[in-house]
Chain A
């Protein structure tokens, strides 16, 4: 989400749309392990597949305003495993999700109790690759209570955990999240600590957790800083995501960062680790990701593509020419 930045006249000018970076990452495949597609348009899906994104993970999150009843929670979780999965498939993108009660809404305890009863019905579903995103926001006792309960749920279901680290008092919140996970007997190798920065990453990596980095303008990481980190500390257990949502964010953050890393002289195999393979390895521990799924999706595309446009095209979305003023 965005912030109260000091905006200048320059910041309000329209940018130049230079897509030449796509040439430099042609043929590479990307996996964005944190993106909230529910807040994005189908145009984004089209741009993502053009940039080489083959799979995404959509963590359950705060949708921008508080939910007032259990049914809206259920409908939201259902949309992650139903409608969004279908929408992504229309573009040949494999859509996974993590299911959980986010930290902000953990503070509505009567509702949180009902959500906890609902969660077991969802975490065992196909394509649910973890419990997430959970953790701390305000770091209240209620947040801690439901964080702990969900760690137990993840353990019972044998699923990885995707941890959201707080914006405020971040460093202490991150340490506390890891302490509690260890206290509950979770293997750090099953826990992805997200939204890291230069200040938090050392402890996360030293303790054996996976470190997610979110490339998100103004509030989280910039991708030049990200490339520097990879140059300095390497690629082990590091993964990059966009966390794109309803704020000013970028669903192409992962492929763009890959292009920038290439420009900065990072080897392609290292780029692949942090933009694809590490996220795959971490979340595949759920048993719910089969890499063949991606090639599978691609093959299906090919089979269905009899031509640009076919009758009975099997659910694929036809392309439109966005630069044309004629709409047919």
Chain B
């Protein structure tokens, strides 16, 4: 499993948030997490954060950004707002000696959260204490139909890859595909690819094709390593597609595969092969192209 360093992340987040708040606000936040503090005051503080901090984009230095990416398995907070990280800091810094009390306090915040609070809470999963206790809550977020909440769980979040079991992980990737979330922003998308997910995606492709609907070529990123006799015909179909992005996805999937017929298929297309070798064609490059792609 892909891991991250929660304790290091918490320290880095503390540094960033302190430099983004004035001294008075920083003190106000610290008072709210005091071990003797009362939970009602903590709740109101969590809820009213944007009124205090505003909603500007965070100021993060390049060094801090690099350190957070390193400790967070690729986590990137540079587009986050001050209120979002302030809330993350509050829940990750709350006194946590009493496990039950800590768990219940955070659970209650989830239960009455509005959209921006949900986003902050799900983004905080990786820095909450007792990480193994949040897997059910994480799976609940994956069930969310609120776009921003689902995005906060699935994308740019190191928690799911580190803690979700395979069925829950697969459910998250499928949900992300169904809701057009950017797959390349899922931390651990390659590391946690698995045969079961590949089979499900192959079935999904057949459904889309039967309905005459477009299939995002990026889904094949999760399939390449698991190409077998069952899946290979899909890749052949893709390689013969009239659409260039499908052909590129087929070539990349073959590159990821150790299955001999898949390697032969790629060898038949020296142009694609050299584009891959030169780095001109990659899953990342294809994802960038898809971001600007308009369905005809």
Give the residues from 93 to 134 in chain A that come closer than 8 angstroms, CB to CB, to chain B. Answer: 118, 120-122, 124-127
Q: Is A287 an interface residue (CB 8 A)?
A: yes
| Chain B residues near A313 (CB-CB < 8 A) | 180
* Interface: A85 (CB within 8 A): yes
A308 to B294, CA, bound (A): 8
Q: How far is the CB of B207 from chain A (nearest CB, A)?
A: 15
Kindly name the residue among B51, B112, B116, B145 whose own CB sees the greatest number of chain A CB atoms within 10 A. Answer: B112
Which of the segments A26-34, A75-83, A198-206 contacts the partner chain? A75-83
A127-B114 in contact given A86-B147, A311-B293, A313-B180 (Cβ < 8 Å):
yes
Whether A307 pairs with B294 at a CB distance below 8 angstroms is yes
Q: Give 1 or 0 for each of B116-143: 1 = CB within 8 Å of chain A CB.
A: 1110000000000000000000000000
B contacts, CB < 8 Å to A: 40, 43-44, 47-48, 50-51, 111-118, 145-148, 180-182, 214, 216, 290-295
Residues of chain A touching chain B, judged by Cβ–Cβ distance below 8 Å, are: 74, 77-78, 81-83, 85-86, 90, 118, 120-122, 124-127, 287, 306-315
Q: Which of A120, A121, A287, A309 contacts B295 (CB 8 A)?
A: A309
Q: What 4 pairs between A and B have smallest CB-CB spacing?
A: A81-B114, A307-B294, A315-B147, A86-B146
Contacts of A83 in B (CB 8 A): 145-146
Q: In the complex, which residues of chain B have a beta carbon less than 8 angstroms from the beta carbon of A309?
A: 294-295
Residues of A within 8 A of B51 (CB): 124, 287
A124 touches B48 (CB 8 A): yes
Query: In the complex, which residues of chain A have a beta carbon less than 8 angstroms from the beta carbon of B182?
Result: 312
A124-B47 contact in complex given A306-B292, A315-B147, C-beta closer than 8 Å: yes
Which of A78, A120, A125, A310 has most chain B Cβ within 10 Å?
A: A125
Q: A310-B295, A311-B295 in contact; A81/B115 too (CB < 8 A)?
A: yes
Minimal Cβ-Cβ distance residue in B for A288: B51
CB-based nearest B residue for A312:
B180
- 14 cross-chain CB contacts under 8 A: A74-B111, A78-B113, A81-B115, A82-B113, A82-B118, A85-B114, A86-B148, A121-B43, A126-B116, A127-B114, A309-B294, A312-B181, A312-B291, A312-B293
Knowing A121-B44, A126-B50, the reply to whether A310 touches B112 (Cβ < 8 A) is no
Residues in A neighbouring B214, C-beta threshold 8 A: 311
Contact, CB under 8 Å: A86 / B294: no
Q: Contacts A312-B291, A313-B180, A315-B147 hold; do A121 and B114 have CB atoms under 8 A apart?
A: no
- Give Cα A311–Cα B40 distance, bound, in whole angstroms: 43
Point out the residues of chain B lying under 8 angstroms from A90, CB to CB: 147
- Output the nearest chain B residue to A118 by Cβ-Cβ distance: B112
- Chain A residues with CB under 8 Å of B117's CB are 125
Q: How far is the CA of A124 from the CA of B114 in the complex (A)?
A: 11
Least CB distance, A307 to chain B, in whole angstroms: 4
Indicate whether A307 sits within 8 Å of B295 (C-beta atoms), given known contacts A82-B146, A126-B50, A315-B147.
Answer: yes
